[in-house]
Amino acid sequence: MLTSSKPSLEEIELVAGLKQKNRRSFESLYQNYSPALYGLCLKVLKAEEWAQEALQDSFVKIWRKIDTYDESKGRLFTWILNIARNTAIDKLRSRAYQDHQQGQALENTRMAATENSYLVVEHIGLDSLVARLAPEHRQVIEAIYFGGLSHVEAAQKLDLPLGTLKSRVKIALRELRKLT
Amino acid sequence: MNLKNYLESGIIENYVLGAATPEEAQELERLSQQYPEIRREIEANQFALMEYILECRQEPPLELRDKVIKKLAALEEEDLLAAPVEAKPLTVAYKARWGSLKPLLAVAASLLLLVSMGLNLWLYQNWQKAESALRTSLLGNQQFAQQTSLQRQQLAQATQELSVLKNPATRLVSLEGVKEHPEAQVRVYWNPQTQEVYLQVKNLPEPPTGKQYQLWFVDGQKVMDGGVFEMGDFAAQLQKMKTAPRADAFVVTLEKAGGVPVSEGDTYAVGKVS
């Protein structure tokens, strides 16, 4: 439903309703899209309370900016994913989040002996896209899309030459396209 | 514009992953309206990424739905309150018992209404001006912050380069062009202790589309991949390559973009570790 290049009739109606700030349209938007947006925020922020806040802020932004959404430039889903990603990444870079993470890191080292410190359990099967993508390709997508890093930052973090990172980004998306 | 080069430049992938600069994004959006190939390429990448994102989807907690809906309802109310209120001054004061004063009052009321409308307009314009000034200054702040962060990155890079060059253990290996490519000249800085390798292009022709230069470490009979490197704006910079534990020579060849595990292209420059 989401991944064809032409919007469905439902989507056209939904967009019209959203632009009129119709409450039912927003409810339906939440119903249909909040799991994708919430999953995205969780992946970026790795903490439920932060992801919830990001999700709520995203809907506020959608409400405020829906007038600027231009159907001719792309699908609604792409547009709202963008809003949610930007919202989550702004939070990720915020002072408050950094402080929170430091506190969390202390907490985690305290508990590290007993359990894995991953805050979010990802329920992803072995046959999933994510699992089938080679780790080095997954890594660059994670660092750049979900981590919001620039090429230079990502190259530093992954300890790769910038040239290698850049070509890896291209290959990663090409591989991803082959798998879908 | 060379469409094929543009499609392969990596800008589209960056844009889709949200890593393009605002200028790149703007240009790409403009070009995508012009060239259907670009638009198709963007969409194909976006849809692949969407599938990836969709796999990570997760139901938010139930109570969040009510919170969001309530928040939106509050925004709706705010919007309604902020809508311009029509000026209706003085109608309440108008009563029949003012009989003879009626025409006079009507004139006065009209005048007041006019004054009030004029005042509203003036206030509204001022408000607009202030808002646009605020927006401009916010934008300025943002640009300044971006610039600062860019400069900080450049400084960090320069500091790192300096520390590599200053390190007495770092060895300079000059790679000279082979017979077929006498103009080729590349410098490699190698620190056998930390095993770090940096490369700087002195002179190399820009590679054709789909090709990239690749560095190799030669250790006796073994040839190891040293990674590909960038040309264009990056050519003059020190580029960090893969680490080399041991090497008695370095070689640069022209290979398929992204690099190959075993060299299959032309050799351009060779340098022995002295």
Q: What is the Cα A124 distance to its own chain's centre?
A: 16
Contact criterion met (CB < 8 Å) for A2 and B10:
no
**Residue B95 or B12, more confident:** B12
Q: What is the pLDDT of residues A126-153, one digit of tens each?
A: 567 888 899 999 999 999 999 999 999 9
Query: Cβ separation of B258 and A82 shorter than 8 Å?
Result: no
The amino acid that residue B97 corresponds to is: R
Same domain, B77 and B90: no
Q: Clarify whether residues A90 and A163 are in a common domain.
A: no
Quick one: which of B160, B250, B157 has its CA closest to B201?
Answer: B250
Percent over 90 (pLDDT), chain A: 63
Question: Chains A and B: how many Cβ contacts under 8 Å?
Answer: 169
Weakest mean pLDDT among A20-29, A138-147, B139-148: B139-148
Q: Which of A132, A134, A157, A133 is nearest to A144 (CA)?
A: A157
Q: For residue A47, what is the domain's CATH number? A: 1.10.1740.10
Is residue A104 domain-resident?
no
> Regarding predicted confidence, which is higher, A137 or A73?
A137
- Nearest C-alpha in A relative to B13: A170
Does pLDDT of B94 surpass 80?
A: no
Calculate how close chain B gets to A18, using CA atoms only, in Å: 12
> Where is the domain boundary, B56, B83, B110?
B83
Q: CA of A15 to nearest chain B CA: how many angstroms apart?
A: 16
A35 touches chain B (CB under 8 A): yes
Mean pLDDT of A32-48: 94
Last residue of one domain, picked from the residues B149, B166, B183: B166
Which CATH number belongs to the domain containing residue B176 in this structure?
2.60.40
Q: Does A82 touch chain B (CB under 8 A)?
A: yes
CA dist., res. B7 & res. B25, Å (int) = 14
For residue A167, the chain B residue with the least C-alpha distance is B258
pLDDT of residue A114: 45
Q: Are residues A90 and A15 in the same domain?
A: yes
Instruction: Locate the chain A residue with the closest alpha carbon to B56.
Output: A39
Flag whether A2 is in a domain. Answer: no
pLDDT for position B91: 47
For residues A27 and A85, state if they share a domain: yes
Q: Is the pLDDT of residue B252 over 90?
A: yes
Q: What's residue A8's pLDDT? A: 78
- Do B77 and B7 have their domain in common? yes
A146: CATH: 1.10.10.10
Non-local CB neighbours of B49 within 8 Å, separated by 6+ positions: A141, A145, A173, A176, B16, B17
Domain that holds residue B238: 171-272
Of A35, A85, A149, the CB nearest to B58: A35
Q: Is residue A16 part of a domain?
A: yes
- Whether A46 is covered by a domain: the verdict is yes
Contacts of A43 in chain B (CB under 8 A): 56
Q: Does A69 touch chain B (CB under 8 A)?
A: no
- Asked if the model's pLDDT at residue B135 lies above 90, the reply is no
B162, B179: one domain: no
* Residue A91 shares a structural domain with residue A34: yes
Taking residues B133-150, what's their average pLDDT? 79
Buried-state track B90-124, b at ≥16 Cβ within 10 A, e below 16: eeeeeeeeeeeeeeeeeeeeeeeeeeeeeeeeeee
Which residues from chain B sit within 8 angstroms of residue A39, using beta carbons?
53-54, 56-58
Same domain, A16 and A61: yes
With respect to residue A154, please indicate whether it lies within any of the assigned structural domains: yes
Nearest beta carbon to residue A141 from set B17, B67, B258:
B17
The answer, yes or no, to whether residue A123 has pLDDT greater than 80, is no
Task: Indicate if B108 and B175 belong to the same structural domain.
Answer: no
| Residue B202 distance to chain A (closest CA, Å) | 17
- B111 with B202, same domain: the answer is no
One domain, residues A62 and A135: no
- Whether this model's ipTM surpasses 0.90 comes out as no
Whether residue A6 is predicted with pLDDT greater than 80 in this model: the reply is no
Chain A residues with CB-CB distance to B53 below 8 A: 36, 39-40, 81
pLDDT attached to residue B93: 45
* Same domain? B189 vs B249: yes
pLDDT value for B204: 94
- pLDDT tens digits, residue range B23-69? 999 999 999 989 999 999 999 999 999 999 999 999 999 999 999 99
Q: What is the distance between the alpha carbons of residues B234 and A102, in angstroms, rounded to a whole number?
A: 35
B157 neighbourhood in chain A, CB within 8 Å: 152
Burial of A58 (0-12, 13-18, 19+ CB in 10 A): buried
- Assess whether A91 and A13 both reside in one domain: yes
Backbone angles phi, psi at B229, to 5 degrees: -135, 165
Q: Domain of residue A61: give its range.
A: 9-95
**H/E run at residue A61:** helix A48-65
- Decide if A117 is inside a domain: no
| A88 and A142 share one domain | no
Give the confidence band of A5 by pLDDT, cuts at 50, 70, 90.
low
Q: Do A55 and B64 touch (CB under 8 A)?
A: yes
